[in-house]
Structure 1
């Protein structure tokens, strides 16, 4: 049993003894009570030292855990609460504390429908009951989609990463006519733009697989797991999104945003490397240093006519061609309407 759980059992036992109005407890009695309680939970002999119980009583008296328990010694040898109605389980909180707790509960409630948070449902309900928050609507709303296909795989993938297990995944990309079988070494789970991805090692290279394209997942107990020891912050530091190239160096991307949209880009940077190159009445020129990938293109295209890429030339031409194709598609649609 962990030392933290041992301490919780001792505090609970001491609390029970100190609020008992019908028995006098000496320090030795408290030591015996704690030892017996630990024996019941562990199923083996557990001896609690005198110093441990003395430190527990001291901690309960202090503000260390927020108890400030009114423990007193009377008749020079017995311990009790000076307030007969006190218990560490009845700690009062002020209005500010209640509001903070309520806000936390409202945020947690928005995650409780995800499979990986199912075990939290009971805890959330207890918190709601304790702070009387069930009738309050959520003030903070997080962007999520519980109906997104593939969320049912999160638990399996999480456990595989945690326990370093190889997986066989039947996967069908949007472009494929049939599914393929991948034997992968899962490393990280990544959420981007309300979609979940598995970052994994496959045939010596890193891949990202969308959870909504996974059909079946099985454990491969025969293959030895390869741990790349990935750090998410480090792995994704040079990209927008989830697509990381092991061979591509980050490039300086310089782009102009008109004056009506520049404040949005200033307050919500495209990337951590973003900086302002120049400002004028017409707009702002920004620079970021990232790898060129699909997600970056989608982000830049999303600003339409209000954003112009200056550098690199290859990216500028690629976006220019996409806008030309879009213009042609609209023109064809107009012709169809006229006919």
Structure 2
């Protein structure tokens, strides 16, 4: 269980004890209550230290989390709220808080038809009711497509990652003639360019499987799940897209973008490693350090004639080859008759 979730459980437990008018709680009692609460959630012994509970009480008293709880020690050893009506769940919010929450609700509402968020519908409605959210149209519009093929698989994949279950996936890649069953250990879900992928362990190697190529999914209860404990930020840090090579080192990609388009690359970097090497009136020379994969090539090709790859040479030649193939396609173009 994450430390944040542990802290929330402790705060909730301390709040319950401090507002209890019918029992006196010493510091040792509070420690026992927190340890017992964590045991109920985790299912294993979880002792909370004296220092941890003292720090929790200090945080609840402070403005750090907005509680400012009126915690007092009486008879030199018992803890309670000096205001018997106080609870950390009854914190008042100001007009600015309501406005921020209302904006958040408007964004959440855009996901109401998305498979993963269907169970959030009731929560969103409660939020709207509790903060008297306005029925204004959404000002922030997120790029989404609920009709994408494969979205129906997200729920079972998500739950399988959480509950650490091995899956048998009937999968047909774009290059395969027939469907095949993959027995995988699901690790992460990744969205890129409006498509979803499952990052999974298959035959001791990491693979990414597109959700729109999955035909059926079954849980295999017989096999023991292998958890690679992947951190998404770390796992994807050296790439553009979803395709990670375990054997390929990131390379310095040097490319030139003309002056008309370089502002777009400056304000929306192709990768977090992006640097500006030089600028002239004609354009800007950039550098990123990433693995060379299919998604990177697609991204660079998308800039058309406005971008030129300088290094590495192998990537430059491949880009040149693709542009030459594109030119031949247009030179040999035969437009079919349009009777519609």
Cα displacement (A) at 1:100: 0.8
Which residue matches 1:274? 274
Distance 1:250 1:91, change over 3 A: closer
CA deviations over 1:251-307 (Å, ceiling 9, x no partner): 111110000111111111111111111110000011111111100001000000000
Q: How far apart, in 2, do the equivalents of 1:58 and 1:81 lie? A: 17
SS of the aligned residue for 2:111 comes to coil
Distance 1:59 1:313, change over 3 A: closer
Q: How far apart, in 2, do the equivalents of 1:92 and 1:308 lie? A: 56
Q: How far apart, in 1, do the equivalents of 2:61 and 2:250 lie? A: 56
The answer as to whether partners of 2:201 and 2:207 remain within 8 angstroms in 1 is yes
Cα displacement (A) at 1:223: 1.8
The answer as to whether partners of 1:69 and 1:81 remain within 8 angstroms in 2 is no
1:6 aligns with 2:9: no
The answer as to whether partners of 2:15 and 2:87 remain within 8 angstroms in 1 is no
CA deviations over 1:66-99 (Å, ceiling 9, x no partner): 5668999xxxxxx9969x9x99877543221111
Which residue matches 2:170? 170
CA deviations over 1:36-71 (Å, ceiling 9, x no partner): xx9xxx9xxxxxxxxxxxxx9999987576566899
The answer as to whether partners of 1:238 and 1:289 remain within 8 angstroms in 2 is yes
Which residue matches 2:114? 114
Q: How far apart, in 1, do the equivalents of 2:164 and 2:16 lie? A: 33
SS of the aligned residue for 2:332 comes to helix
SS of the aligned residue for 1:110 comes to helix
1:206 aligns with 2:206: yes
Runs of 5+ unmatched residues, structure 2: 1-5, 26-32, 34-39, 41-55, 73-80
Q: What are the residue-to-residue correspondences of 1:254-273 with 2, within 5 Å?
A: 254-273=254-273
Worse overlay, 95-104 or 56-65: 56-65
Q: What's the Cα RMSD here?
A: 3.5
Which residue matches 1:288? 288
CA deviations over 1:116-165 (Å, ceiling 9, x no partner): 22222212111111222241111111111111111121121122222221
Which residue matches 2:241? 241
Q: How far apart, in 2, do the equivalents of 1:87 and 1:231 lie? A: 36
Q: How far apart, in 2, do the equivalents of 1:104 and 1:292 lie? A: 37
**Structure 2 length-normalised TM:** 0.77
SS of the aligned residue for 1:333 comes to coil
The answer as to whether partners of 1:115 and 1:152 remain within 8 angstroms in 2 is yes
Q: How far apart, in 2, do the equivalents of 1:213 and 1:321 lie? A: 29
The structure with more radius of gyration: 1
Which residue matches 2:309? 309
Which residue matches 2:94? 94
Instruction: Name the count of aligned residue pairs.
Output: 301
